[in-house]
């Protein structure tokens, strides 16, 4: 979002709250949001990352969150990566 967009938005809110809600800025349009999401996924793929969606029982998610807290990690995907790495190294060592 450019400075002009944010300053215009602030000015419109002071003038008329209804007018501010009706105006759709290019950065707020659904197509712009979809394009930003596509760009993020493209950068992730270029970095060798892949996004997946998991449907897990709440108990599994709670275990991931507990492990995340214990290990001081930022997100659940780091926990899953850590678990997979450990399992892989355990299987390789006889």
Contact 25, 9 (CB under 8 A): yes
Of the pLDDT bands very low, low, confident and very high (cuts 50, 70, 90), residue 19 is low
Number of domains in the chain: 2
Residue 15 falls inside a structural domain:
yes
Question: In 10 A of CB 22, how many CB atoms?
Answer: 8
Lookup result for tokens 């060798």: 48
**Residues 8 and 40 placed together within one structural domain of the fold:** yes
Structural domain of residue 74, as residue ranges? 58-92
In a domain, 51, yes or no: no
* Mean predicted confidence (pLDDT) in 76-92: 90
44 CB-near residues (< 8 Å, 6+ apart): 50, 51
Q: What pTM did the predictor assign?
A: 0.55
Instruction: Compute the distance between CA of residue 80 and CA of residue 53 in angstroms, rounded to an integer.
Output: 13
**pLDDT tens across 25-61, in order?**
556 788 888 998 899 999 999 999 888 889 999 999 9
């Amino acid at each position: 979002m450019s400075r002009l967009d944010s300053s215009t938005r602030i000015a419109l809110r002071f003038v008329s709250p209804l007018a501010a809600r009706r105006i759709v800025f290019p950065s707020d349009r659904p197509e712009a949001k979809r394009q930003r999401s596509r760009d993020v996924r493209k950068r992730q793929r270029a970095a060798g990352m892949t996004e997946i969606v998991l449907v897990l029982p709440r108990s599994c998610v709670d275990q991931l969150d507990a492990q995340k807290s214990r290990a001081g990690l930022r997100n659940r995907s780091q926990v899953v990566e850590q678990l997979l790495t450990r399992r892989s190294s355990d299987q390789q060592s006889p």
